Structure 1
Amino acid sequence: MAGIGTAGLIVGILLGVIVILLGLLLAVSSGKAKPFLDEKGHALAGSISEKIHVNINGVQQGMFIIGKNVDNPVLLFIHGGTAMPEYFLTQNYPTGMEQYFTICWWDRRNAGLSYSANVPPETLTVEQSISDTLAVTKYLRSRFHKDKIYMMAHSGGSLIGIQAAARAPELFYAYIGVGQMSYQLQSEMLSYEYMVGRYKEIGNTRMVKQLEAAPPTMSVPLPAAYMKVRDSAMHSLGVGTTHDMKSVMTGVFLASWLFRGYTLGEKLALWRGKFSSDQMLWDKMIATDLTKQIQKLDLPVYFFHGKYDYTVSYSLAKAYLDRLQAPIKGFYTFEHSAHSPMFEEPDRMKQILQEDVLAGKNNRSDACTQTTRSCESN
């Protein structure tokens, strides 16, 4: 019998590797929501853990709804990016928020579970996202028989969430901005300056050259060469998604493929949705100056921000809240976090949610803890 040859052997090995990898991916792609179990291994009484699709403004949109007690207050989580769902990150970074809330981890229009190649591109706008947010809020209020709910919006989602809260404050007990955007173009400039300076300090001349070859400006679109290196440059310095996440490829991309709550097709849809939404939404989102658009909110407002966050500027968010008018407001610095304190410091996050947000206070905010005085009426 003739030998298969070197080329044939290589092809065979590659095919075998592909089959193994595909098998592994299928094994971690059940696409089912993980239930809460009691000490006997039975579904926890009164809990909820489901993955559903709901008609939101004429489009089927997906969400995970989870909580240990369905009678708890409802919290709507508005994920970041143009279309970057975040529930899959809880597999590696559990938040524990389900102890205090029934949480809706909604995948926004064209994101993750809500991705569809048939969604009209003209509906992929910030305005539509705000309208969808209010529609999801009304769905949750009706389903769980709540007069109001809480909203937590992260990063790119905070640009949408704060506008929704400003339009319909009567629907929400409080607005929580995590890594709150204010004026992202300015944030990109500050981030760029920090990264160039830091890479010069540590002697990484290669990264300095890459960054200096395409500096961002206060206009859109940002240089393609800058956008190509932006995420990796931030994560290498610990100022990206989390302070300890040094690679967006392993920390986010790989994590999405290993998340059991998505099917294989849904994992592919997640990235198709992100890349298509980036093309239509990114420039409009970063060019929005919220400090001019939203200067007052008629509900309690809380900003949670990591000290090491340069994905969205810590200093700009703090300055924004200082100027923002609200009946109660609080800024909370997370000393060990970058862009995602709910994943990085979940215990402190839970404490603030329980003692301040749910109580309608701000006693644990920076201003109050630094002056050892009550700030409840601020």
Structure 2
Amino acid sequence: MKRFVVRFFVAFALAAGAFTAAAQACKDTAAYEPARKIIADLGRIETPNGVQASYKARINGIDQWVSVRGQDRDNPIILFVHGGPASPLTPTLWQFQRPLEEYFTMVTYDQRGAGKTFVANDEAKVADTVHIPNFVDDVIAMADDVRTRYGKRKLILMGHSWGTIIGMQAALKRPDLFHAYIGIGQVIDVRENERISFDYAMATAKRKGNAEAVREMEAIAPYPGNTPITRERIIAARKWAQYYGGLTAYRDESAYFHRAPLLSPEYTDAERCAVDAGNVFTLGRILPEFLAVDMSGVREFPIPVLMFMGRHDYTTPSEPTDAWLAQVKAPYKRGVWFEHASHMVPWEEPGKLLVSLVQYVRPLAVDAPGVTAK
């Protein structure tokens, strides 16, 4: 039975093994530099109409770091809102994004309290702004800034995990900015997610005869129940759900993700260390608001909405998302199941992600030359 340390406390955040990886990332990692140079060379965009940019944008009073990559700037733009909270995509893009860049211009940014953005700002000035409405307004302001910079009427908005909470709310608040909204590992009802995840872990542990896991989970049962959901209870619940493939399908850990920053050419050692520091900075402040999130009452969606669902996801379980999608009214809606994925869909099934985006989403982006509405 493997031991691992739960690093991220929030229910849909990424857990097993991250503390160890982050601690290593804070050390001198010069030995990895030759590999980073190879990755940077492979990722260099040389096409005549391509774009490869990394810059700070002043968004809602703070500097937020932006990455823009694409082989043809005439392609539709996807604004990809990362998870966590404070788990930036930037140092992992090299693992999965290059094929997407042939069909879309991909824009990601480190949110307030995350990664490069955490380093770029005074903690004391940001601390009181770590609230969900501010993150939602950041998505909207970022979308507006990107539209202006790259001459687009609208963008495609895509969120992963925590990013689906603020992404969905941004789409509801400013639907005029977006062709469509895509949720990957969508959060609908946090408390229901907690229940499903815990029940899955408990049932699996009992079936496999894991007395240690059953004992630890029984200590917090019923979960979530009527007892306050503390960080300690979340740790105990999430530990075993993720051990049994609820984060990455068929795996009891996700070291490939947690260690990805070590090879990222986009981050310095200080910025790699900031992934961990920013996560600690953010989680304690956002946890109460996160626990109250419930989007199940949204009955109408103003723009096309697609949900990409991992069949084995027990970090943000897919069942509530599937049920929500079935009843919501929208101009266009589609659910896509990723049969061999859990929570980490872009990493686990990158081929199907690409095909799904090209087949179902790109036709909705009528700004693109030669692209017609579905």
Category of TM-score, reference length = shorter chain: 0.7 to 0.9
What is residue 137 of structure 1 aligned with on the other side? 143
Structure with higher RCO (Cα < 8 A, 6+ apart): 2
What is residue 57 of structure 1 aligned with on the other side? 60
Q: Whole-Å Cα distance in 1 between the matches of residues 353 and 259 of structure 2?
A: 26
| Alpha-carbon offset, residue 161 of structure 1 | 0.5
- What stretches of structure 2 of length at least 5 have no aligned partner? 1-23, 366-372
Query: Relative to structure 1, is the Cα distance of residues 109 and 218 closer, same or farther in structure 2, using a 3 angstrom cutoff?
Result: farther
1:238 aligns with 2:230: no
Query: Relative to structure 1, is the Cα distance of residues 56 and 28 closer, same or farther in structure 2, using a 3 angstrom cutoff?
Result: farther
Q: Whole-Å Cα distance in 2 between the matches of residues 162 and 31 of structure 1?
A: 37
- Rg larger for: 1
What is residue 19 of structure 2 aligned with on the other side? none
Q: Whole-Å Cα distance in 2 between the matches of residues 155 and 220 of structure 1?
A: 25
**Percent identity among equivalent residues?**
27
- Contact kept, 8 Å, 1:26 with 1:264, in 2: the verdict is no
Query: Relative to structure 1, is the Cα distance of residues 23 and 37 closer, same or farther in structure 2, using a 3 angstrom cutoff?
Result: closer
| Alpha-carbon offset, residue 95 of structure 1 | 5.9
Find the residue that maps to 1:45 and give its secondary structure. Answer: coil
Q: Whole-Å Cα distance in 2 between the matches of residues 264 and 230 of structure 1?
A: 32
- Contact kept, 8 Å, 1:77 with 1:103, in 2: the verdict is yes
1:272 to 277, 288, 293: 277
What is residue 361 of structure 2 aligned with on the other side? 357
TM-score by length of 1: 0.82
| Alpha-carbon offset, residue 247 of structure 1 | 1.8
Query: Relative to structure 1, is the Cα distance of residues 24 and 304 closer, same or farther in structure 2, using a 3 angstrom cutoff?
Result: same
What is residue 331 of structure 2 aligned with on the other side? 327
Find the residue that maps to 1:92 and give its secondary structure. Answer: helix
What is residue 220 of structure 2 aligned with on the other side? 214
Q: Can you list the C-alpha shifts for 1:227-248, whole angstroms capped at 9, x where unaligned?
A: 33344423321111x2154224
Matching of residues 36-185 of structure 1 within 5 Å: 43-94=46-97, 96-115=99-118, 116=121, 117-185=123-191
1:34 aligns with 2:37: no
| Alpha-carbon offset, residue 51 of structure 1 | 1.8
Q: Whole-Å Cα distance in 2 between the matches of residues 310 and 84 of structure 1?
A: 18
- Contact kept, 8 Å, 2:54 with 2:66, in 1: the verdict is yes
Q: Whole-Å Cα distance in 2 between the matches of residues 142 and 229 of structure 1?
A: 45
Find the residue that maps to 1:358 and give its secondary structure. Answer: helix
Task: Give the paired residue count.
Answer: 338
Residue identity matched to 2:198: Y
Q: Whole-Å Cα distance in 1 between the matches of residues 29 and 253 of structure 2?
A: 25
Q: Whole-Å Cα distance in 2 between the matches of residues 90 and 230 of structure 1?
A: 29
What is residue 303 of structure 1 aligned with on the other side? 307
- Contact kept, 8 Å, 1:76 with 1:149, in 2: the verdict is yes
Q: Whole-Å Cα distance in 2 between the matches of residues 109 and 23 of structure 1?
A: 26
- Contact kept, 8 Å, 1:36 with 1:48, in 2: the verdict is no
Find the residue that maps to 1:173 and give its secondary structure. Answer: strand
Query: Relative to structure 1, is the Cα distance of residues 204 and 28 closer, same or farther in structure 2, using a 3 angstrom cutoff?
Result: farther
Find the residue that maps to 1:151 and give its secondary structure. Answer: strand
What is residue 190 of structure 1 aligned with on the other side? 196
Q: Whole-Å Cα distance in 1 between the matches of residues 38 and 117 of structure 2?
A: 16
| Alpha-carbon offset, residue 93 of structure 1 | 3.7
Residue identity matched to 1:305: M
Matching of residues 332-347 of structure 1 within 5 Å: 332-347=336-351
What is residue 264 of structure 2 aligned with on the other side? 259
| Alpha-carbon offset, residue 49 of structure 1 | 1.9
| Alpha-carbon offset, residue 31 of structure 1 | 10
1:227 to 224, 234, 237: 234
Find the residue that maps to 2:296 and give its secondary structure. Answer: helix
Query: Relative to structure 1, is the Cα distance of residues 263 and 102 closer, same or farther in structure 2, using a 3 angstrom cutoff?
Result: same
Q: Whole-Å Cα distance in 2 between the matches of residues 54 and 147 of structure 1?
A: 19
| Alpha-carbon offset, residue 210 of structure 1 | 1.1
Residue identity matched to 1:101: F
Q: Whole-Å Cα distance in 1 between the matches of residues 31 and 56 of structure 2?
A: 23
Residue identity matched to 1:270: V
Residue identity matched to 1:239: G
Residue identity matched to 2:344: S
Residue identity matched to 1:217: P
